[in-house]
Structure 1
């Protein structure tokens, strides 16, 4: 599976850092909404559900998950089908309702951010949202519109210059699967990861259905649930400016990290810090 071999070392690095550097509050911009009272140490910790994005799978969260579990959190990483926004959101919502009890911090990376934006509206146990280099669409927006209005490396006149498109006989007529070309993966998706790691990740990427980019988002959960944003300043898939615009619309707290679109792999400690901040507000 994607990320397994290369990320064993990354997870070990994250755990080694824990022995030297306990989690401290990450440097963040002032929140645009008032912070919620922190949970006390005597309260039960929320379950943290991590949702992966396109061109990845759940093992992309391995370093972050290891750090969170070392700090006593129950972590679940359900598969994101990557077939369509509404159906993927329904899948994640059903998973949370059936596999968890008590409050949940719901975290999404990349396309996973759009999924949690829709999934949490029908999942009342979700008490905090965390977006990691992620989409946080407003009602009626499509991901294609968000990328199309940005300086993303994926916003090109000819999509076949950045994607390999594969027809799936199980998909609706006219739909297909998008894979990042190796050159795009290396230069725009994972450019701050070691070459050896990129060489493992790129061939094993999971595709995103074309139609998922064209589906309008529903009522955003961030309108009613507190949100946190980890913004990679070197992200070439969802540029920093675009992420900050979505964070402002959501009224979320922003933490910038010097990372590519895969800050969950290149900066797992900082990502875990922000998730922990969100978890501390849940009571």
Structure 2
């Protein structure tokens, strides 16, 4: 592969994972739609911000995991652009800066759009704070001397920044409100998306332990690693079922077929147990997340 080529950057931003950002904005916007307050322009800006921010985080992760020894050229997972030498150090740093600036520009667009709508409770300062927190998360997840992913906080960070924050604030900037059912839907999404992190950490548990990356799978052990993946999907389905208490019957029931695929992937994960062969479970997990997000979005709209 040609160094610093477009193909190299595609590898770097990990397009297979970007569907996570898409479903978060879809779910938050669907909740706004059923409440009669959806705004297409704001939703699109939220989508742009979410995707650009995830690209930023992926590139930072690519660079910092290699520097810290977690990713080497012979890693078990999909190719990482910097570890493979597809992107040079200088280009990677410039790329991270450009994606971060583009994310900030999209965030400013959201702020302007929401502030002029008159819906915000605190004059937009809450969005400034959340946008800053998102940017910090993109870096602190793997960068710095006390990165979240290396101290057992990666899963909590994913639940917050790939669940509660994007779904909740996509809804908030369109409606000016925050409801219990939005929180349930956001937590469900965060739990499902965490299955992607979990299968990665389960596959890499031995490499992570050697380089001092103390994920929950490393800290709690192999057995918790196996059962934790299953528990995340079950907990997400339980959150959806709880939406029935607010009259969202379709949102409660329509995502349930996701469980069949989730359990099937978990059984395959347990059977394979270790090594590069677990990458097939990573691909299936990405598919399962897409299905969950689309079914939950459809269920919300039907409700």
TM-score under structure 1 normalisation?
0.30
Structure number with the bigger relative contact order (C-alpha 8 A, sep ≥ 6) is 1
Quick check: which has more Rg, 1 or 2?
2
Indicate the structure with greater helix content: 2
